[in-house]
Amino acid sequence: MKDRRSVLKATAGLVAAVPFLEAQDHSQHGFLQIEKPPLKRARFFNQQEMTLLEQLVEQIIPRSDTPGAADANVHYFVDFQAHTNAKLGAQIKKDLAWVKKQGFGKGDAAKQVALLTEWSKANGTEPCRVFKQLKDLTIDGYYGTKEGLTQELGWNANTFLREFKGCTHPEHGA
């Protein structure tokens, strides 16, 4: 059986290596210069559909002082979900065709925001369903990426700790 010390020792190198790599990555860009992850390959949607998806996810969770959904390749996440779920894929393909017909892809940012606002508020309608499905997929996708989870939300867990300190705020003392 491995004892705790040997486990910690074995993983210490991994833990130490991560900040170094991150420092290298982040030294390349600042607030406006977001380094995109390596290009991915779409498996389900065609190029036009991928472009539309990229615009949609970026409007739902845009770039701020942290990467947006497009920076985090969330459109490829949606593509992979469609690739592995034929029913979902067919539905989204149909939905994207409808979104295209509404002029979303050719509209400027203001037009795109206006359309999404309209759909999001049309409770119980088909446009609202389309919006909600794309929004949910964007949320699942973005907040599971390194960009969304660590850079945006500050998550730094699933790691090795010697001690769990919990809440150390006296003002939360209950």
Partner 1 sequence: MYIQKSPEVHDVIVIGSGAAGGMAAWNLTRQGVNVTLLDAGTRFRKEDFWSHVKPWQWRERVEKGMAPPKIRLDEKEQPYSWKEPNYFELIRVWGRGGKTNIWGRVSLRYSDVDFEGPAKDGWEIPWPIRYKDIAPYYDKVEQQIGVCGGDDDQDSLPGSKFHLPPPALRCGEKFLQSAAKRQGISVVNVRRAVLTKPHNGQNPCHYCGACGRGCDVAAFFNSTDYLLDPAEKTGRLKIIDNAVVARILLGDNGLATGVQYFDRYTKQERVIKGKRIVLGASCIDSTRILLNSKSAKYPTGIGNTSGVIGNYLCEQVRFHMYGFVPELLGTKTLNDDGIGGEHIYMPRFNHRDGKKRDYLRGYGSQFWGTGSQPGAAFAKQMDGFGLSFKGAVKKRYPALVAMHPYGETLPRKENRISVEGTPVDRYGVPTMRIEYNIGDNEKKMIAEMYDMAEGVLRAAKAEILPFERGWLDNFGSAIHEHGTCRMGDDPKRSALNGFNQMHDVKNLFVVDGSAFSTASEKNPTLTILALAWRATDNLAQEIKRGNI
Residues that bind partner 1 (CB under 8 A): 1-4, 7-8, 11, 59-62, 64, 77, 80, 113, 116, 120, 135-136, 139-140, 143-146, 148-149, 152-167, 169, 171-174
Based on CB atoms, which residue is closest to partner 1, 87 or 165? Answer: 165
Spatial distance between the Cα atoms of 39 and 79, rounded to a whole number of angstroms: 14
Per the CB < 8 A criterion, the answer to whether 128 and 120 are in contact is yes
Based on CB atoms, which residue is closest to partner 1, 61 or 96? Answer: 61
Closest distance to partner 1 from the beta carbon of 111 (Å): 14
Based on CB atoms, which residue is closest to partner 1, 74 or 96? Answer: 74
Closest distance to partner 1 from the beta carbon of 120 (Å): 7
The angle subtended at Cα 11 by Cα 9 and Cα 16, nearest 5°, is: 100
Q: Convert 83-120 to b/e letters by CB count within 10 Å (16 or more is b).
A: eeeeebbeebeebbeebeebebbeeeeeebeebbeebe
Closest distance to partner 1 from the beta carbon of 21 (Å): 13
Instruction: Give the count of alpha carbons within 13 A of 124, CB side only.
Output: 0
Closest distance to partner 1 from the beta carbon of 124 (Å): 15
Based on CB atoms, which residue is closest to partner 1, 20 or 164? Answer: 164
Closest distance to partner 1 from the beta carbon of 90 (Å): 21
Burial of 128 per CB tally in 10 Å (0-12, 13-18, 19+): middle
